[in-house]
Chain A
Amino acid sequence: MSAKEYRTASAARGGLLTVANVPNIAFGDRVHIRDKQGNTRNGQVIRSSNEEVLVQVFEGTAELDLESTWVRFLDEPVEIALSPEILGRVFSGLGEPRDFRPPIVSNLRRSISAAAFNPAARTYPKEFIQTGISTIDGLNSLVRGQKLPIFSASGLPHNRLAAQIVRQAKLPDDDSRFSVVFAAMGVSYADARFFQEEFASSGVLGNVVMFVNMADDPPVERLTLPRMALTAAEYLAFDLDRHVLVVMTDMTHYAEALREVATAKGDVPARKGYPGYLYSDLAEIYERSGRIKDRHGSITLVPVLSMPSDDITHPIPDLTGYITEGQIVLSRELHNQGIYPPVHISPSLSRLMKDGIGKDFTREDHPHVSNQLYALYARALETRNLASIIGADELSARDRRYLEFADAFEGRFVQQGEDEDRSIEETLNLAWDLLSSFPPQALTRVNETEIAKYHRQSG
């Protein structure tokens, strides 16, 4: 492959470099930029004509001067080298080793911007994954191949929750091979170390591939990082038949990097300065999870994002929610009450739960129990609200029962230890403990058979 080199840079602005008079350069081509000092930067062609090529420079254009900059077009898209050796390794957003070990040598290289999966090639995700966390397993179950983000905010324990999921996630009676792909964008050293130690202490490190971009690394590398990570995940899942859990944190940093580049390019902003294509861009990432017909592996995606100013309607959580198959929302209020994990169940949802639970999967009463808890808790929150206005003493006996339920639900069902790994049986039994504080006729979401079998007063 012939790589072409030019010294015709004509403009540098933000992360963008314009190169004049370079014919036949491919759109999306990879670029190396060599500066005066002889250091190489990386880039990608984002617009190409014979007169002018626009290059997005991942490390930025600071300190580049136009005269002494060499631009080399590699004539290949951004790729990642793949082999089973990637397990246990740490890479940058550009796929370069970050662990002081040699690069991966392999004939297998793949472009990180994969073509979309054909919907006709997909199989519907159905296998319940037990995370050992009641609010997830009982009320917002995760299934293999699902994309289920954690909506968090600064200062909330999303990393601890993600780590607990990685530690505990398993399929009941299944010991098939699993791997973790961890993608960190704009994280602090403390957070990166936290995950590394987590993986080491739970003994999964040899099954983890890490892609890390620190808070002080070039933001633009955050754009390639999740694509690197997912290309690696696809390789593990669909070439090596592994069940891959991909944890990505923090998608908010990703979206901010995208906004930065879009602004530099002069793209028309839609909301809060984010480009109109943020939805499609995020979808390109999130839709790479799933199950494929006749393939044994799967990609389950748990992205973590922080909601700017705790605002769920901010474009980043909003567009994410429009793409993913549900969301686990953390609440500052619960966190401040000392409840871990502070999962706020009302806005939380798992859309794929319906086909992965119930008879033959978890337990026959699971769908109804989940529904019933939701309904009671919604009513209980209303009652709590009322009590705060008129005082708890003014409530009727019926309403007081709801109030007590809210406390018990948060204190016993939501609250659990960081090392507490509850089986789905335990979670459902705990649910019935709470439901049994109501007389059977107040429970209209569970059916009469279920009441007869599980309600403490009927048993």
Chain B
Amino acid sequence: MKQEDKKGTIQDINGPIVTIKLPGVQNGEQVRIGSLGLYGEVISLEGEEALAQIYESTEMVRPGEPAEGLGHPLSVELGPGLIGGIFDGVQRPLEEMFLKAGDQIPRGLSPLPLDREKLWHFVPTENLEPNMPIIGGARLGVVQETETVEHRIIVPPNIEGELIELAPEGDYNLEETIGQVRDRHGKVHHLKLYHRWPVRKPRPYQSRDNGVEPLITGQRILDTFFPLLKGSKCAVPGPFGAGKTVVQHQVARWANADIVIYVGCGERGNELVDVLDSFPKLKDPYTGRPLMDRTLLIANTSNMPVVAREASIYVGITIAEYYRDQGYDVVMLADSTSRWAEALREVSGRLGQMPVEEGYPAYLASRLAAFYERAGRVETMDCGKGSVTLIGAVSPPGGDFSEPVTSHTKEIIQTFWALSKELADARHYPAIDWVDSFSADVGTAAEWWHENIDRGWEKRRAQALGMLARDAELSRIVNLVGPEALSSAQRWVLEGAALIKEGVLQQSALDPVDTFSSPEKQFMLLNLILSVYDEGATLIELGIPVQELAEMPVLARLRRCKELYDSSQIDQLKTFRDEALNDFKEIHSEYAQRGEQTA
């Protein structure tokens, strides 16, 4: 079907859902409608009529205005220039729109996502020569995208054949041909530094691999208690204000990933500004480079048209897969997947589809599963390794985890960081509930910790969780009959659990030292607190009153260690540990002496 055939007219406007008469248009095809040329996509066909969802407000659009099909589905541009940018839900470059069109987002405007003029220094892959067979995903060369990210220029996954030309090292803009491939039908493809890919179609890979190492986020409760593997799927549910966005920002800041894609999906404009303002000033703890050098933002804020919100997470995940295909470990954060699900609900409601639960359409669960399925660690087409780790915030109405989006998501993911209102109200941050949260990958993570940090990791982790569980039990007793009912040993458990909560679990995102904790420091703190607890427990067995231990000045300092010593001060922490344990030894010997005197 030729382009000019696909001209038609608008029949009916029902908010973002518009009926157009457009013979020959395909399902999923992009359309432009009305005199403003608003963008949208066809979501169903019936005879000559097509239903389209429009990414922009349809205010003042009329029946009878023109509509045209663009001949391709919603696609993204993939190439150098993505990193450091901020795009809207359909990949329009927001910085550029701001410069061109002012404070508000105008309709019908669609600048190209990637800069066409900028020159990139291309270095072709060595040993790659004309007449060689080449496959999709093969690396043609590299350009330095930012100081941290080497952008690997790959053959689009759907092209393979014989390489007939490869450009020499030099500066090229995005539209210049840097290679030519003849496919088996004899068609010659001109390859550029970028290519396009439809967002609703997962990019191919060779095979799936198991996750092998944890994503280190620098957050103690996450890394030490509920680890997430690179290439895994994770949900962060919680009521409003519990800290989902802070958790996601913290992961975006401190995770040991190569590329971070942050999708603000139906959330606040200011939260994206926060990232835009703070990331260029913060340093990646692994490379020392500004964090923005590895970060990309997709923004569909809550006040933007809801249809583009539905598209935004696909735009994000497609870009994530593209960097995965270059052999990178990518983390994609989606805040919030509930808003995406609501966009689905909105469209399905307008289409008159039968709602099944809380107004959601029957396909909610399968769409969610298909989306999360795009995460994973893979062997790429050119036999490298890459991963996409997917972390989705979930915003359950009323904080009720039994609602459809949370419950369906829970069945799909491997790691669950559940935020609790009670903890947040008490300003216990991050308000991650250690009872409701889980990680299916503790075993794999343990191998990594044992090999790289300490053999005692899994034991200490289990001990701490055990104490927290006992703490909950004992607290229930106290609340029934008062603290007098507890033995000294039991009261020491309460003290120990309080130390774990304050000294390990609580971690302020706002404190310049505490905001990031290296794995070494994480284990040091945990080990230190548990050693102190163990020492105390021995003393209590010897009959030393729990009061005496609880009032030791060293405990107050123990609670503050996390912000007194940064991740490079492991030696100082060790010194402190020796001092602390020494205090206990002194009590021990004092007590022994006293015991001898009275004896």
Contact = CB atoms under 8 A, between A and B. Distances in A.
B426 A378 contact: yes
Contact of B359 (A269, A293, A390): A269
A321 interface: yes
Given A268-B355, A394-B484, A441-B556, A122 B273 contact: yes
Given A26-B62, A120-B97, A49 B104 contact: no
Interface SS of chain A: helix, strand, loop or mixed? Answer: mixed
A290 B12 contact: no
A203 interface: no
B482 A50 contact: no
Interface string B544-566: 00000000010010011000000
Contacts of A390: 481-482
B510 A354 contact: yes
B253 to A, nearest CB: 15
B430 to A, nearest CB: 14
B62 A25 contact: yes
Nearest to A315: B397
Contacts of A280: 266, 302-303, 306, 342, 346
B19 A277 contact: no
Contact of A49 (B19, B107, B276, B560): B19
A47 B63 CA distance: 10
Interface stretch (A89-97, A281-289, A411-419): A281-289
B438 to A, nearest CB: 24
Given A115-B106, A290-B270, A318-B398, A283 B302 contact: yes
B453 to A, nearest CB: 27
A18 interface: no
B301 interface: yes
Contact of A322 (B276, B301, B395, B481): B395
A323 B268 contact: yes
A113 B303 CA distance: 11
Given A119-B94, A347-B425, A27 B270 contact: no
Interface residues of B, number: 76
A321 B424 CA distance: 14
A307 to B, nearest CB: 12
B241 A349 contact: yes
A118 interface: yes
B277 A50 contact: no
Q: Which of A27, A125, A286, A314 has the most CB of B within 10 A?
A: A27
Given A117-B104, A119-B299, A267-B349, A47 B304 contact: no
A25 B421 CA distance: 49
B479 interface: yes
Contacts of A25: 62-63
A385 B103 CA distance: 51
Contacts of A122: 269-270, 273
B236 to A, nearest CB: 14
A118 B106 CA distance: 9
A120 B98 CA distance: 6
A121 B98 contact: yes
A190 interface: no
A321 B480 contact: no
Contacts of B556: 441-442, 444
Contact of A119 (B240, B272, B479): B272
Contacts of A367: 510
A124 interface: yes
Contact of A441 (B12, B398, B510, B553): B553
Contacts, number: 211
Interface stretch (B52-60, B75-83, B217-225, B281-289): B52-60
A116 B425 contact: no
B339 interface: yes
Contact of A117 (B19, B64, B269, B478): B269
B354 to A, nearest CB: 9
Nearest to B396: A318
A115 B38 CA distance: 14
Contacts of B13: 27, 47-49
Given A47-B13, A124-B273, A386-B478, A113 B59 contact: yes
Contact of B60 (A26, A117, A322): A26
B346 A118 contact: no
B276 A120 contact: yes
Interface in B89-124: 94-95, 97-98, 101-107
B60 A27 contact: yes
B379 interface: no
Interface string A288-308: 101011010000000000000
A336 interface: no
Nearest to B297: A119
B126 interface: no
B398 A313 contact: yes
Nearest to B102: A121
A305 B266 CA distance: 22
A378 B498 CA distance: 14
A276 B12 contact: no
B61 interface: yes
A123 interface: yes
A268 B359 contact: yes
A103 interface: no
A77 B395 CA distance: 34
A451 B466 CA distance: 35
B400 interface: yes
Nearest to B426: A378
Interface string A239-251: 0000000000000
A346 B64 contact: no
B399 interface: yes
Contacts of B46: none
Contacts of A48: 12-13, 62-63
Interface string A380-419: 0000011001100010100100000000000000000000
A28 interface: yes
Q: Which of A29, A394, A444 has the most CB of B within 10 A?
A: A444
A111 to B, nearest CB: 7
Contacts of B427: 371, 374-375, 378
Contacts of B276: 119-120
Contact of B11 (A50, A270, A319, A351): A50
Interface string A434-455: 0000000110100100000000
B591 to A, nearest CB: 22
Nearest to A448: B560
A327 interface: yes
A398 to B, nearest CB: 9
Interface in B69-88: 86
Contact of A28 (B59, B268, B277, B342): B59
B345 to A, nearest CB: 5
B447 interface: no
B543 interface: no
Nearest to A445: B427
A389 B480 contact: yes
A441 B551 CA distance: 9
Contact of A327 (B104, B241, B510): B241
Contacts of A379: 426
B483 A396 contact: yes
A25 B59 CA distance: 11
Contacts of A394: 482, 484
14 contacts: A25-B62, A27-B58, A29-B60, A48-B13, A49-B12, A111-B59, A118-B101, A120-B86, A287-B301, A287-B303, A288-B303, A295-B103, A378-B425, A386-B478
Given A352-B270, A371-B427, A378-B425, 6 more contacts: A116-B305, A118-B98, A280-B302, A283-B303, A318-B399, A389-B482
Interface of B: 11-15, 19, 57-64, 86, 94-95, 97-98, 101-107, 239-241, 264, 266, 268-270, 272-274, 276-277, 299, 301-306, 339, 342, 345-346, 349, 355, 358-359, 395, 397-400, 421, 425-427, 478-484, 502, 510, 553, 556, 559-560
- Closest A-B pairs by Cβ, 9 of them: A283-B302, A313-B398, A49-B12, A378-B426, A287-B303, A321-B240, A390-B482, A28-B59, A27-B13
